[in-house]
Amino acid sequence: MKRFLVAAAITLAGLPALASNDDIVKVKSSGDVATTMDRLEAAVTGAGANVFARVDHAAGAASVDMDLVPTQVLIFGNPKIGTQAMQDDPVAGLFLPMKVLVYQDGAGQTWLAYEDPKEMFDDLSISDDAEYLKMMSGALGKLTGKAAGQ
């Protein structure tokens, strides 16, 4: 119910709601969550982007005596690219910096997931042909590929 209210409030405020599954890109990883996340963080810093945070959702769950499969989020960005999106539409700041989720599914498989930038900014005043969207998509593809061990 709480999720519904949040999504409804966001929609009523004129902002895009949560992404649909077809807006999410998923990449299968050859490693566990910690290894995949370490590789992702190394790839991001190696590419010259800034890592702002690494969030361990499973550790958060454990802190309140709850169980959660290994699940982490890396929050990162490159101001040279992200600033361009925010110049075109300041509301892009709701989606930036970029985020990649690394999680373990019910079968024990590790996945990386991120929202397709073109879809992420779809409801904003950002052209689908913006060069920075291609740069974001390309970077996310390369970074998650490296993290996945491809």
25-148: CATH topology? TATA-Binding Protein (3.30.310)
Between CA 121 and CA 112 the distance in angstroms is: 20
Determine the pLDDT at residue 20. Answer: 52
Domain limits, the chain: 25-148
Determine the pLDDT at residue 18. Answer: 43
The predicted-structure confidence for 79-103, as pLDDT tens digits, reads as follows: 999 999 999 999 999 999 999 999 9
Between CA 90 and CA 114 the distance in angstroms is: 21
* Distance separating the N- and C-terminal Cα atoms of the chain: 39
CB 121 within 8 A of CB 133: yes
Is 7 or 33 the better-scoring residue by pLDDT?
33
The predicted-structure confidence for 21-71, as pLDDT tens digits, reads as follows: 678 999 999 999 999 999 999 999 999 999 999 999 999 999 999 999 999
Q: Identify any residues that bridge with 99 across adjacent strands, giving them in sequence order.
A: 75
- 147 burial class (0-12, 13-18, 19+ CB within 10 angstroms)? buried
